[in-house]
A and B are shown apart, each in its own frame.
Chain A
Amino acid sequence: MTAAALSHSVAGSLSHSIRMGLALVWIDIKQGLRKHMAGNTWRARLLQSGGALFGLTFLAGLHLAAFSLVTYTWLSPSENKAGLMAGLSTSIWSFLLFVMISGGLVRALVVLHEQDDSNLLLSSPVSPRAVLAAKLFGNALQSCVVDGFIIVPYINVRVCTFGGHPNFLWGYPVWLALAIIVTCIDGLLSFGLIRWLGLRRARFYSQVVPFALIFGVTLLTGSLSVSMARMGFNVGQAQMPLAMQARFIELANTPLVWMARAAAGSPLYLISIFVTAIILSLITLRLTERAFVEGTQHLVENTTTAGPGNADGLFRSGVLLLEVRKNLRLIVRTPMIVLQCIAQIMTPIVVALVMGRDNVAMAVAFFMIFSVGVLAGMFTIAAGTVEECDDLLRMSPHGERCFRLGKMFSGCLWPLVGALVVGLGLALAGEQLQAAAVLLGGIPLGLASSLVGETFATPVKPGTRPKLLSDPIMMIPLLGMQITSGLVAGLVVFCAALSETFFLFSLLASYLMLIIGVGLAQLRKPLF
């Protein structure tokens, strides 16, 4: 046999395909690690160290929370303690399943349809099914890692507490099996979505649908959740209300208990979950291989290109106006960014709803001030990050400041208009102080946020998709905006509810943020 023929037979074999599938997964992991561990500047190392420290602290906190939850449930007197604990397990595993399914759809779209190494892999003699299997398995591993924070603390606590229960170690393989099941479901969904809607819309809906689901579930669980106020350090206080116990026990009688029982090491359930994962993997590979090989994305994308809309009319004269209008178009035409921005302002919705039980105006004012603070900054960042022609702007004779102001105006325009409308609405409803809180507290906060956003926005390279939230450099100002906006909004609306004097003093916080915003801008990229 010649060397070429030997190489040929090796490359076409099943064992070679499996080996290359594993190699592909390893390459992806290696690249992912290098991506996050890259950087030899002090700033990059500081960010990495800070991130690692934050991650460890966060994980420790989650372990503590899991321990509290398990202890609270365990110590609650109940006639059906086994059912109660099974219900608790079921709720946590169901939550994991839900989060995995929602997040996995976007991952499936990216991994299966937007990875550019497909040309190389599929033009090689390795079986396309092996490539697809490797991609799906890599996706499942990623799903495990990303959503692991939900289940790892719970598994560890169940294994180690109350005398130790090593059978709960089965939770780890169940976690992987569940990730494979979810990846297959999301993989099938992604192929279906692309075939029906095209890649552009599929990408959009893959963000919208999970967001709507998570929002809905957050509201639902928020209304049903354990009341922290009733929990205490005394054993006597650690009692779950009977109504809630009944809900958990009821949950343990639904089919969802399947995951909890498997994770506790029940052989029948374990076999069923692994068999499901295997069967679903085979079905997915069989049904999606052809579409994967043929690159459905390219075909559908080419036949559903967006046509020009009304906004493609002539620009009016005036560079600033031109810049503002262009930025507004850029933001609106990047629906992923709009969606991410809207998702961020939903963070405190539960706080607003709790406030709304007693005082609707206060809840509306709080939500509006928070939204202005976050959205003005995020839209400004979006206007900066989606900019692909930064060099062109710098070369123009109009000066950089004009374009920077343009980005800020376009970023804070709609949030400020929203604040104005809500403020006037509250005033008409007779809530003068809360109206003043929105107008006098929210608007300067929005301007401050916009200033900070413009200062930190970094244009993407031409041809690169803007990644608003995945860039660690952008995460810090974004988190800062959220925390600051939450604190300022809370302070201003509570003080407005107390008295006029308190309210006037609280406004200082908002103006202080504006001063800090100007200061940051002056330090990094002087505006004045």
Chain B
Amino acid sequence: MEYACEIIGLVKRFGPKTAVDQLSFQVPSGMLYGFLGVNGAGKTTTLRMISGLIRPDAGRVLVTGIDAVAEPQRAKQPLAYIPDDPVLYGKLNPMEHLEFVSALWGVDPVTARKRAQELLERLNLWDRRHEWIESYSRGMKQKIALASALIHEPKLILLDEPLTGLDASAARLVKDILLGFLKQGGSVILTTHILEVAERLAERIGIMSGGRLIAEGTMDQLRSRSGQAAGSLEDIFLQLINEARGQVLL
């Protein structure tokens, strides 16, 4: 099987605190992987290590088979990362912003302009393309961040809370775009606190607690692991988290 991302024994420590502890999982190509956990579980740190923003203390990160620690620049080429609070260049208009971002990934200017127009039209932002991004609402900024991630046609997108601040129609639009991206063979690792979204979109789900992966698998596998045959992801998630906390306390 071809993997978009492979994490093997990943460790990251901040001073005395171990933020990520012996983390291992794989994301096959064309899959949306839901990455869940309470605040401070280590999800964002993991995404930042995959994106090359933080160097792991131990372990390996392979992005489309390329070692992200040994060859960070090559590994970043097929990758896009949208943090939970993406910062955009407020004094640029969306076309200027997208052209700059595509240039970062080496997309030639003509192709970049064409793709930027397509994305802005799809995200219903084309009519406001002349306005500076700072005048946009939070939801519109989220859409621009998504467009920035898609403009260089990555193979793997890392999304940290992508639906924050979006209204129902915009959230639906983003989900449709992500599903379209998956159909074209792209892969997504998504963290979210909206468990319904993960339940509906993710083929596999990983649950983190205290820097460790406490459960991983499809919804059916998680149900059987938790013993809740008809349980929702929320029920399963809370049970597994409480069990993990109990183990830590014991």
Contact = CB atoms under 8 A, between A and B. Distances in A.
A123 B87 contact: no
Contacts of A30: 91-92
B145 to A, nearest CB: 9
A474 B54 CA distance: 40
Contact of A122 (B52, B78, B92): B52
Contacts, number: 91
A11 B153 CA distance: 14
Nearest to B106: A11
Interface string B143-185: 0000010001100000000000000000000000000000000
A128 B75 CA distance: 13
B126 interface: no
Interface residues of B, number: 34
Contact of A125 (B86, B90, B104): B104
B106 A7 contact: yes
B79 interface: yes
B128 interface: no
Interface stretch (A59-67, A113-121, A323-331): A113-121
Prevailing SS type, chain A contact patch: helix
Interface in A476-500: none
A20 interface: yes
A182 interface: no
A122 B105 contact: no
B87 A117 contact: yes
B91 A125 contact: no
A119 B81 contact: yes
Given A30-B91, A123-B79, A16 B73 contact: no
Nearest to B83: A119
Contacts of B55: 290, 293-294
Central interface residue in A10, A119, A299, by most chain B CB within 10 Å: A119
Central interface residue in A123, A126, A128, A302, by most chain B CB within 10 Å: A123
Interface in A1-42: 4, 7-8, 10-12, 16, 19-20, 23, 27, 30-31, 34-35, 38
Contacts of A303: 14-15
Given A20-B103, A119-B86, A34 B77 contact: no
A295 B104 contact: no
Interface in B101-118: 101, 103-107
Interface string B6-20: 000000001100000
A123 B87 CA distance: 13
A207 interface: no
Interface of A: 4, 7-8, 10-12, 16, 19-20, 23, 27, 30-31, 34-35, 38, 116-128, 290, 293-295, 299, 302-303
7 contacts: A7-B106, A8-B74, A12-B74, A12-B77, A27-B100, A119-B81, A120-B86
